[in-house]
Amino acid sequence: MIECRNLSGYDSKMIWLQNQIAQLIIIAILALPVLTLWRSIVAILARPFGVRLPLLAFPLKRLRTEISELTHREYILVEGVLNFGAGVWLLLNIVELVSSRLGFAGRAPHRGLFEGLLQLGWFLFMGAGWGWLMWEGLPRHDPFRRSESLSITPKPRE
């Protein structure tokens, strides 16, 4: 474990910066596998409620098509609250756990039950807000379909 006592201010700041960079690298390494696995778990959890999402997040074209068929309420609950809110909360807690096991500075992963539930509630609330805000930007058509009206090539003059 890295100690910060009896160091000058510059050394202390460098150690803090190294710890932050290490946590950023851990997030970058863990984000894709954790969130992909979480998306599959959410797809399984949502099926009994009539929401049919693909179990695998890839190919993205199929996932995007299925997401565009969700109602407003389903989109907020599934994509906002579960995938975004709970997914980010899960990712950050796993990153804290890995960081503490590797000896980097950070909060202890063994916080109290009330604090953990309060944090989860806050992330679920933020996820609902994210889902509500992102609903307007959701494409209602297949963006990969070719459309001649969207072509950037100049049309010949008549």
Residue 91's nearest CA partner among 127, 59, 48, 65 is: 127
CA distance 32 to 44: 19
Q: Where are the domains of the chain?
A: 11-141
Contact by Cβ (8 Å): 7, 16: no
Q: What is the pLDDT along the chain (158 residues), one digit of tens a residue?
A: 455 555 566 777 788 888 888 888 888 998 999 999 999 999 999 999 988 888 888 888 888 888 888 888 999 999 999 999 999 999 988 888 888 888 775 565 567 888 888 999 999 999 999 999 888 766 665 555 555 565 566 667 76
Q: What confidence score (pLDDT) does residue 87 get? A: 94
Q: How far is CA 54 from the centre of its chain?
A: 17
Q: What confidence score (pLDDT) does residue 46 get? A: 92
Contact by Cβ (8 Å): 80, 131: yes
Reported pTM: 0.72
